Structure 1
Amino acid sequence: MVTGGSGFLGQHIVNLLQTKADHVREIRVLDIKPYKNCYGDHDSKVILSTVGCVTDSNIVCNALQGVDTVYHIAGKISYGTFPDITGMHHINVEGTSNLIKACLLNDVKRLIYCSTVDVVIGYDDIIDGNEANTAPPREFLFPGYPETKYKAECLVLKANGSQTKNGSVLQTISLRANVMYGEGDPYYITNGLRNARDSHGTLYQVGDGTALFQPVYVGNTAWAFICADKALAKNSNLGGKFYFIPDDTPQQNTFKFMEPFLEVRGYSLSSIKFPFRLVYYFLFFSELVVKGLSPFIKINLPAESYSIKYINMNLTFSSKKARQEIKFKPIFSPEEAKQRSLQYYKHVAL
């Protein structure tokens, strides 16, 4: 079962379950929209699509009957000046709690949860972060999303070893995904392209260009879930652990990384790099004014101070533990990932 299987990452997981998971005989998708194969090869295995939300106990319980493994990808992301924090808690936390209960009622063997590196990102740089040297910050950089994902991750890891209805045991793992690019991307590069389009073909650079960012090709993130499933089936001692899963995409400044995807659309980076502090504090104080006016009128700013901060921090992580313990090895090289992505971004509707 892939919750959120109709979405960005979910589509790639379903495709790899079709082509590179001989142990899988049937695939199920639970999503708020019907599953449609958008980016993969022809379907060779049975796919059963259930339309519904992870917060609906009856739908989830019925969909999980006979399922061995659940890849829990479904979640809500909300950002902007006024993010939907209540909605994120409902879907990300309460929905995950509901899913765990359904797993126990249906004797599901393994639950692989999609977390995010955002659960350890505050206001300080992270260089070569790993499972031992990073922890959730006292204050998350982003409002709402990281906190709800961390709470859900804690629920999943705590459920490891829980007894199911008929006396078997549920085993769990959490994978902390990096920001992803590639076919189906609705946010990262696609938003950069939209910003360039709206600025007459120019994406304005903020910062001095030295901050290192670590995006990951979505196909490699998808592959990590299959690796985790196989590893957990062989070694129950891996249950209750979390892993960082970056691939071999070169670490570089986010604007430099976006450049070839801009060029394929005829866009470019600005020749001027606007000072980070100037832009950050302008947005920060603008947000204070806008939030002060929110009882009377809600104004969504075109950018957020925390997003500008995010792309001007050094944020890199290590997949060494994942490669050792769950045998994760990226199956798409950086060049192949780039070429696949260029074809997508060249034609994606903005």
Structure 2
Amino acid sequence: MVQLRSKKDVRTTMHLITGGGGYVGFWLGKTLVKKGHHVLLIDLRPPIWTLHNDMEFIQVDITDYSALEEVFAGVDCVYHMASYGMSGREQLNKKLIEAVNVQGTENVIQACIKHNVTRLVYTSTYNVIFGGQTIESGEETLAYLPLDKHPDHYSRTKSVAEQKVLAANGQNTEDGHKLRTCALRLAGVYGPGEQRHQPRIVSYIEKGYYCMTYGMKTKQDFLHVENVAQAHQLAGEALTEIKNYKAAGQAYFISDGAPINTFDFYRPLVEGLGYPVPTIQIPISLVYFFAILTEIIHSMVARIYNFQPLLTRTEVYKTGITHHFSIAKAQQDLGYHPTIQNDLSSVVQYYISTGHRRTQKQSSITYWIVNVIIMIIFACFILSLLPFVK
């Protein structure tokens, strides 16, 4: 049910965050409240964290336009962070990905126009440019990856949505004001309490699945949640007249600004939880082939058993191929400066405090037995496919 705000609650400093029930959206909400704004979080699921003063939550489905547009009344700035299909089994649900990422974004744009919202910051992704090709210090002048070249539907729909948001820049709202828009292309987000990627990674580590590596000579970008919030806050300000609408119609790459190999990045987490770092390396081509077959099997059995794939093709690309982007444009236009760079110390402490540190009961012998079994299964799987590989 949509809970409508009374007129006395509608403020000119109201900032609305779609996907505000999620980790990144809620963190941004906290940041905006500290800056003196009233924040409205909307999402299908309520946040698991306690709401702060000047922060409220309304349950809304962004694919339902009639329900969505009602909560935009009196809003000054919108941060459109809601999306679906970023990782894991969600990447394989094309119908829902399309509904949320494309139709949901169109609904947000139309709601902004109807209710005279003048600022819209879109949370985008590196994937609108990256699709498995090597990119070093990429800049915003790079062309969009052709839609038919995307390895997953999430990336394809995020590209479509970003282009719709940027095309909406300068459109007249119903009362004749201008809607100003921009897009922030984020690297992989991390931080204490992150709910999407880190729990899955920690689960793999604890189950012994993390027993081999690939692409160790490659580098990727990461993005601490505090830097995410900073970039969004600055982008919202850069869409105002006082900032000369500097960000209007622009896209920006956002990261910690310190490319690093994915497995080196997660090393402090693995070691901090008391587990050994894998020493076995395998070719990325084998991992990618395994991911393709996993996706095929998932498509065949998902209606009966919607299992969580160990890796998807896109995840293999992201973790095993060099791709990093310059944040110079964001620094120049927005005044963005990362305050944290590739620091997992707070993440390690978070997991230790929630009981995830390896205990003496988890013997090294047991751990390595699991590793050996997994490697044997993987080797047999690959060998069984060799007769079919030309």
TM-score by length of 1: 0.88
The answer to whether the aligner puts 1:165 opposite 2:174 as a matched pair is yes
Q: Could you tell me which residue of structure 1 aligns to residue 247 of structure 2?
A: 238
Distance change (3 Å), C-alpha of 1:277 and 1:187: same
The answer to whether the aligner puts 1:91 opposite 2:100 as a matched pair is yes
Question: Quick one: which of 66, 69, 76 aligns to 1:68?
Answer: 76
1:268 aligned counterpart, secondary structure: coil
2:42 aligned counterpart, secondary structure: strand
Give the distance between the partners of 1:140 and 1:60, measured in 2 at CA: 32
CA offset at residue 138 of structure 1? 5.5
2:210 aligned counterpart, secondary structure: strand
Q: Could you tell me which residue of structure 2 aligns to residue 338 of structure 1?
A: 344
1:204 aligned counterpart, secondary structure: coil
Question: Quick one: which of 112, 124, 128 aligns to 1:115?
Answer: 124
1:15 aligned counterpart, secondary structure: helix
Distance change (3 Å), C-alpha of 1:239 and 1:134: same
Question: Quick one: which of 20, 24, 28 aligns to 2:40?
Answer: 28
Greater shift in the superposed pair: 51-60 or 209-218: 51-60
Letter in 2 for 1:341: V
Greater shift in the superposed pair: 338-347 or 97-106: 338-347
Contact (CA 8 Å) 1:2, 1:70: kept in 2 or not?
Answer: yes
Question: Quick one: which of 253, 262, 269 aligns to 2:261?
Answer: 253
Tell me which structure has the larger Cα radius of gyration: 2
Q: Could you tell me which residue of structure 1 aligns to residue 324 of structure 2?
A: 316
Q: Could you tell me which residue of structure 1 aligns to residue 232 of structure 2?
A: 225
Question: Quick one: which of 206, 210, 214 aligns to 2:217?
Answer: 210
Give the distance between the partners of 2:133 and 2:290, measured in 1 at CA: 20
1:267 aligned counterpart, secondary structure: coil
The answer to whether the aligner puts 1:262 opposite 2:270 as a matched pair is yes
Q: How many residues align?
A: 337
Which consecutive unaligned segments of at least 5 residues does structure 1 have?
none
CA offset at residue 79 of structure 1? 4.2
The answer to whether the aligner puts 1:2 opposite 2:17 as a matched pair is yes
Give the distance between the partners of 2:295 and 2:117, measured in 1 at CA: 45
CA offset at residue 157 of structure 1? 0.8
Distance change (3 Å), C-alpha of 1:6 and 1:152: same
Contact (CA 8 Å) 1:205, 1:255: kept in 2 or not?
Answer: no
Which consecutive unaligned segments of at least 5 residues does structure 2 have?
1-15, 357-390
CA offset at residue 205 of structure 1? 2.8
1:346 aligned counterpart, secondary structure: helix
CA offset at residue 333 of structure 1? 2.6
Letter in 1 for 2:77: T
Give percent identity, aligned residues only.
28
CA offset at residue 140 of structure 1? 4.2
TM-score by length of 2: 0.79
Q: Could you tell me which residue of structure 2 aligns to residue 104 of structure 1?
A: 113
Give the distance between the partners of 1:240 and 1:54, measured in 2 at CA: 23
1:99 aligned counterpart, secondary structure: helix
Greater shift in the superposed pair: 131-140 or 100-109: 131-140
Write the deviation string for residues 51-105 of structure 1: whole angstroms up to 9, x where unpaired. 1111222322221111100011111125446711110110111011111111111
Greater shift in the superposed pair: 95-104 or 302-311: 302-311
Give the distance between the partners of 1:138 and 1:60, measured in 2 at CA: 28
CA offset at residue 295 of structure 1? 9.9
Letter in 1 for 2:200: N
Write the deviation string for residues 157-208 of structure 1: whole angstroms up to 9, x where unpaired. 1111111111111110111111111123223333221111122xx6223325
Greater shift in the superposed pair: 276-285 or 54-63: 276-285
Letter in 2 for 1:120: I
Greater shift in the superposed pair: 54-63 or 130-139: 130-139
Question: Quick one: which of 174, 177, 180 aligns to 2:186?
Answer: 177
Write the deviation string for residues 285-312 of structure 1: whole angstroms up to 9, x where unpaired. 5655x37855997675433344223311
1:89 aligned counterpart, secondary structure: helix
CA offset at residue 134 of structure 1? 4.6
Calculate the aligned-residue CA RMSD, in Å.
2.5
Question: Quick one: which of 3, 9, 12 aligns to 2:27?
Answer: 12
Give the distance between the partners of 1:30 and 1:85, measured in 2 at CA: 23
1:68 aligned counterpart, secondary structure: strand
Give the distance between the partners of 2:165 and 2:284, measured in 1 at CA: 38
